[in-house]
A and B are shown apart, each in its own frame.
Chain A
Amino acid sequence: MIDVLVIGGGPGGLAAAVSASKAGASVMLLDREHALGGILKQCIHDGFGLQRFHKQLSGPSYAQAFIDEILLLPVDIRLDCFVFEVSCLEDGSFRVLASSRDGIIDVNALAVVSATGCRERTARQVSIHGDRVSGVFNAGCIQNLVNLHGYMPGQRCAILGSGDIGLIMARRLTLEGAEVVGVFEAKKTPSGLERNIHQCLDDFGIPLHLGCTVTRTIGHRRLEAVEVADTDDAMNPILSTSRIVSVDSLIVSVGLIPEVELLKNLPVKMDSRTHGPVIDQKGMTSVPGLFCCGNSSLVYDLVDYVSLASETAGQSAAKWAKNRGLARKTEIQVHPSGPLLFISPSLIDMDSSSVRFFFRASEELEGRTLTLCQNGHEIFKRTYSVLRPPQMETFEIRTELLDPDHAVEASL
């Protein structure tokens, strides 16, 4: 029986495993890939680590800092191990099954930390229709092909969606000699970070078409063109504005969703706003002993916050394994209202001394105030000069300020 089993060796899983091991737990980490680092392996651009290391690192160097640390600790790391089942045993411990080249791995653990990252929404999920041709990709797939395998999707690319990965790939493809004819975003505001709009598009003269979407793919063997159209306020295309743009590849960057596949056969409550599980500030889900952190709990904007939250999850998992059976005694719920895309955690464990909140606004707002109230009493308030959906905000409060008998109303 191991104390803490961590699924995923990206920045989330690495930070959780490191902190759990440092807290004295026996730790096993499983990842399906051949190397540690998660999605950061393919993020060769810089911009990681400003908060944590106060310098601009590339994705692989950011991950390396944690890999160097974990290799010095007694963590049992198993790579090329695909976890396909997590189940809850009668005594409250977990059984984890994984497939590896050496056979099936079947282990028991007192606590499990799920740090399986996120996946991208596909072209089909945003209803792209038209001819069925080769040449339509997800941005993450292109990042993998270009950065890890050295292949180009095409020579004339259109990008649908202004998510960060799409913006970064627009620059990368341009640097590799492809022509990026434009980034098309159905909304009136971009969904990527402002710095990426400047550094990836403006600096390279790549046009950003806001309020404009791809309506159809056209081609016979490979993609030959896309039809684009302006959108109305409800984000529906205005057919009279449609026009044909000739391209040989379409790269879709329309959002990330937490990967929660493994949690599905467990009685885990889900958060309809984050699309991850309901978690408390320690990352514990509604199943005692099961923790979730990193992008599989909610989609973060900066990896620095992933590390921060995952460290807490790792420590808490170690503590939970040590004091086995010690479930949350008092918990209170957090109810969001107003233009909040999400606020996490949605559950507060009153046993720990503080709570770090993360939230995103659902639209661009200026001079708005976020308040936390309990039973009409204001607990916390902060005014933001500007809030943008791509940018996550975070703040911390002490739990002693909270009344254990009432839910927290978070409003923007």
Chain B
Amino acid sequence: MNLSALNRKLDAISPGIHAFIDDGAVHIEGQCSSYDDVVRCGILAARLHSRGVVNDCTCADVKEEPMRLPETQDLSLDGRSFDVVVIGAGVVGCAIAMELSHRNLSVAVLEKEYDVAVRASSRNDGMIHPGIDLHPGQRKTYFNCRGNRMYTDLSQRLGFKFIRNGSYVVFDRWWNLLTVPFFHLRAAMCHVDGVRYVTHRKLGRLQTSVASWQKGAMFLPSSGIVEPYQATVAFAENAADNKASFFFDTAVLDLICTDGLVSQVITNRGTIHALSVVNAAGVYSDRIAALANDRFFTIHPRKGTEMILDKDAGSITESVIAKVPFSDVKQHTKGGGVVRTASGNILVGPDAHETIQREDDSTSSQSITDILAKHKATVPSLDKRQIITYFSGTRACTYEEDFVVERSTKAGNLVHAAGIQSPGLTAAPAIAVEVASDIDNIFSDIYKRSIKVRSDAILTRKAPHVVSEMPLEQRDELIRSNPDYGQIVCRCEQVSRGEIIEVLRSSLPVYNIDAVKRRCRCGMGRCQGSFCSPSVAGIIAEEAHCSFESVCKGLGVFVKGKVKETSR
């Protein structure tokens, strides 16, 4: 397709939509009647295979909500300067910060939320994808394949749970079997190891909950799972151990460029000087790029909903049961299905819906019903009554449906790690290696400074204690050395007071009920914190030396004031 053909097609969607090429990227402008049409125009424009699609079309039916900003307004960071400023503390930003913190560089991570992994990085399947459903030429494929292999070593060094439990891509039609050679071909092209075909009979024996009418499966042994927030926390804590500074409730509002370099980063807490900047801002990464006048891609958020079933449903599978990807190629859901999580629950999802709202975490009963119906075809025993919770996240997709990992052509000291949609969790460690080497080059090219990994860099992190998984004697010994490990606070997940205090005394403590929950699972069980949250709030208040009433759960305060004086 060429530009004039594109313009004709755009005009057919909505008269007046107009495309032009600027600096190698295709820009589209005009007014559509609906947001769906805006997305359709963007998808069409991507078929031009330019450097990227900048979609400036507007629509009449829905309005984008502004970015959620922290309430803090102060000058506490004003005048500080760092060698590298990383924008965004999702899994990508944290992996990058970790990699950079091992070097002779001063690193700051700016995050507008109250903790790491609040956005997409805690709202996903936690799958370390094998990468078989990706296109061989894409950057996604390259980073996924490398990232997948890095997780074994990372999880051992940094003490987080990673299980290579494999996944089954189940065939629901006999004709699907014709694709077996195609799977093997893809596996070879994308460097996916160990892929093999499992017959109908063998599948029935290995995965007893898969419906008997399924026609066999491909088994992908390199597929694995992590708790995505625990992996992100591990990266962040290692960065903090190596002196990277994390600033939460800190939003980047503007970038000041001088002589083709970003020189200042404007935040709600003052202006920071930076020698280099990394854009790892997830769904806002196109906006950050725009602040540096570097517009060549647009994020169109794609929302996905997941549900978590009670651990009692854990017997459904030890691994992942996915459907063949061809049945919903249009949907762009990478993997997922019925997933055994690293903590032993069953996760079902996600779905995929285009949305104009970049931070829409709300859930709807319709999504839950649809997802359940879809996966019941493969696993009939899925039961709505076993759902203990559900959540949604938004993927940061570009119209090219690929990652943007490169040095900016407009600001010489800016590196993008943008458009990191699925499988971004898998790819993050590999992206970090690439971005770190870009930063090395920036320092040698622009500042004539040679950047090395410090000999005293800390490369390991002690795994936090998990008393419920310890052998009895060891657990007893631990309790005798610190009685707090004997006092169980969260009944469902059996988390002790000691584990909660450990989290609050880590190198990167976050005094928030939900932050504690993500780190040690306290409140993640079937009662969803109704028993333990008052106790957790009490421990947080003690450790942070603050009042009980100021303790927050997520963004909001947990309680609102005290009872009347007289009644106590």
Contact = CB atoms under 8 A, between A and B. Distances in A.
Interface of A: 32, 80, 82, 84, 97, 99-104, 106, 119-120, 122-125, 127, 129-135, 137-138, 140-141, 144-146, 149-155, 175-177, 219-223, 248-249, 261, 264
B2 interface: no
A124 B385 CA distance: 10
Given A132-B362, A144-B534, A97 B472 contact: yes
Contact of B496 (A99, A119, A140, A146): A99
Contact of B530 (A32, A141, A146, A151): A141
Contacts of B390: 124, 129
Interface in B536-553: 538, 548-549, 552-553
B476 A133 contact: no
A124 B557 CA distance: 20
12 contacts: A82-B494, A84-B488, A84-B494, A103-B479, A119-B530, A140-B531, A141-B529, A146-B563, A149-B538, A176-B564, A176-B567, A221-B554
A98 to B, nearest CB: 9
B207 interface: no
A153 B388 contact: no
Contact of A132 (B487, B531, B554): B554
Nearest to A140: B530
Interface in B473-489: 475-476, 479-480, 483-484, 486-488
B488 A82 contact: yes
B528 A104 contact: no
Nearest to A100: B486
B563 A221 contact: no
B388 A149 contact: no
Interface stretch (B141-149, B363-371, B502-510): B363-371
Contact of B527 (A84, A122, A144): A122
Contacts of A80: 486-487
A145 B529 CA distance: 13
B555 interface: yes
B530 A137 contact: yes
Contacts of A123: 528
Interface in B340-394: 361-365, 368, 385, 387-391
B349 to A, nearest CB: 14
Contacts of B526: 119, 122
Contacts of A101: 479, 483-484, 486-487
B205 interface: no
B527 A133 contact: no
A133 B479 contact: no
B436 to A, nearest CB: 34
Nearest to A173: B563
B473 to A, nearest CB: 8
B528 A122 contact: yes
B555 A220 contact: yes
B137 interface: no
B408 to A, nearest CB: 33
A13 B315 CA distance: 32
A176 B563 CA distance: 6
Contact of A151 (B363, B528, B549, B555): B549
A131 B362 contact: yes
A185 to B, nearest CB: 19
Among A129, A140, A223, chain B packs the most CB atoms within 10 A around the CB of A129
Contacts of A119: 526-527, 530-531
Contacts of A261: 492
Contact of A150 (B388, B488, B560, B568): B568
B561 A151 contact: yes
A124 B548 contact: no
A223 B556 contact: yes
B368 A134 contact: no
B139 interface: no
List the 3 shortest-distance A-B pairs measured between CB atoms, nearest first: A134-B556, A222-B556, A138-B530
A122 B559 CA distance: 18
B68 interface: yes
B467 interface: yes
Contact of B562 (A122, A130, A151, A264): A151
Given A103-B486, A119-B530, A151-B562, 4 more contacts: A101-B484, A140-B531, A149-B538, A152-B560
Contacts of B552: 134
Contacts of B533: 141
Contacts of A130: 362-363
B387 A149 contact: no
A103 B480 contact: yes
A176 to B, nearest CB: 5
B560 A248 contact: yes
A99 B479 contact: yes
Interface in B387-428: 387-391
Contacts of A32: 488, 491
A130 B560 CA distance: 22
B312 to A, nearest CB: 7
A149 B365 CA distance: 35
Among B68, B388, B496, B558, chain A packs the most CB atoms within 10 A around the CB of B558
Contact of A125 (B361, B388, B568): B388
A151 B548 contact: yes
A248 to B, nearest CB: 7
B557 A222 contact: yes
Contacts of B557: 134, 222
A8 to B, nearest CB: 12
B4 interface: no
Nearest to B368: A127
Contacts of A132: 361-363, 391, 554
B468 interface: yes
B530 to A, nearest CB: 4
A176 B565 CA distance: 10
A20 to B, nearest CB: 25
